[in-house]
Amino acid sequence: MYKNRYLIFGLSALLILQSACSSAPPAAADDAAVASIPNVTVGNPVTHSFSNSITFTGTTQYQQKAVIRAGLAGYVHHRGWKMGDVVKAGQIYCTITSKEQEALKGLDKTDILKQFRNPIAITSGTTGIITAVNYQNGDYVAEGDILATLTQQSSLVLLVNVPVEYLDRVKAGTSVTIITPDGRKMDGRLQAGLPTADPLAQTQSFIVPVGSSNLPEGANLKVLIQLSGPQQGLAVPVKAVQTDETQEHFWVFKLGKDGRAYKVDVQAGKISADSLQEIQTKGLSVNDKVILDGAYGLADSSKVKIAGKGDKD
C-alpha cells in the first residue's frame, strides 16, 4: 500500500514538472510576438484645395543686340569704355586714325593739312550695355570690324519651354507667374511661340517680356501656368504615401478595426505647400485612419500598435 502511495506521488510530481516545462516556451513566444508588433502613428485623410497648375522652365535672353563697327581702317584711340558701361545713341565710342593720317604727321610741318589729320569719331547708333569689347587703344582695325557689342536691356525676354502635349491648353496670351531663384514672383503673359520645336526635348519656346526685371541673360527661372481653377481632392501627409523603386506605384496603409494595417493602392497627385499629397482612390474617406509613421517596409495585413494619434490636418 505504501508502495502504491509513493508511486502515485511520484507520477504526480512528474506530471507537474512536465506541465511547467511545456508551458514556458509558448509564454516566451507570445512575449516575442507582442514585442515585434511595430508602433505606428495614424491620422485622417482630409479634403484639400489643390491648384490645377503646372510649372515649366525658362531662360532669359536678350532679343536685340547691336554692334559698333569701325567706319575705316586705322588705329583705335581714346576708347574709354569698358564692359558693363551704358552707351547712349550718338555718343562717341572711340576715334580711329588711318595710316594716311599718321603719315601726314611727319610730312605736314606747316599744319596746312591739320584738319585732315584729326581722328575720325566712331559713334554708337543705339543705346545699350556694352557686353563685349574687341579692341583696345592702339590696336589696328579694318573697315567694318566689330569694335564692341551692345545689348538693349529693355529687350530681355524669358523663353519658356512648353512640352508639345500642353499646346492645346497653353497658347499666346496665357497668363503666367515667374518665380526667380530667390523666391520673388512676377506676373507675365506668353507672347507668340517660336515656329520650331526642340526635336529632342519636344518642347516649343514661348516668349515672355521681362525687360524691366533687371535679370541677367542666361538665368533659369520657374514659370507657373494655371491650367484651371483650384480643385478639391482627398489628401494625406506626404510621409504617409509609400512607393516602389520605380515610383510608378503608390499606396497607403489603412488601419482596420482589427488593429491591422491594410494596403490601399492610390494614384498620387499634386503636393501642396504644406506637404499634403493629393491621392485618388475609392478605398479611403476622411473617416478612415491611415498610418503616418511606421509604415515603411510594412507588409499587408500586418498587426500594428498605435503609439500616438497623428495630427488631424
Distances from the Cα of 98 to the Cαs of 76, 106, 253, in angstroms? Answer: 9, 14, 84
Domain ranges of the chain: 39-50+231-309, 54-62+155-226, 66-153
Determine how many CB atoms are found less than 10 A away from the CB of residue 77.
14
Reported as a single tens digit per residue, the pLDDT across 30-60 is 544 555 888 999 999 999 887 777 888 899 9
Which CATH fold would you assign to the domain 39-50+231-309? 2.40.420
CA distances from 279 to 40, 52, 200 (A): 21, 14, 32
**Fold matches, 39-50+231-309 and 54-62+155-226:** no
**Rounded Cα gap, residues 84 and 132, in angstroms:** 9
Partners of 267 in the β-ladder: 280
pLDDT tens for 107-136 read 555 555 555 567 889 999 999 999 999 999
pLDDT: which is higher, 213 or 254? 254
Q: Where are the beta strands (DSSP E) in 98-180?
A: 120-123, 128-133, 140-141, 146-151, 156-163, 175-179
Could you tell me the pLDDT band of residue 3, with boundaries at 50, 70 and 90? very low
**Architecture category of domain 54-62+155-226 in CATH:** Beta Barrel (2.40)
Type of residue found at 66? A
CATH architecture, domain 66-153: Beta Barrel (2.40)
Q: Are residues 188 and 211 in contact, defined by beta-carbon separation less than 8 angstroms?
A: no
Q: Which residues lie below 8 Å from residue 44, measured CB to CB, with a gap of 6+?
A: 286, 287, 288, 289, 290, 312
| Residue-level pLDDT at 12 | 53
Please state, in angstroms and rounded to a whole number, the distance separating the CA atoms of residues 150 and 148. 7
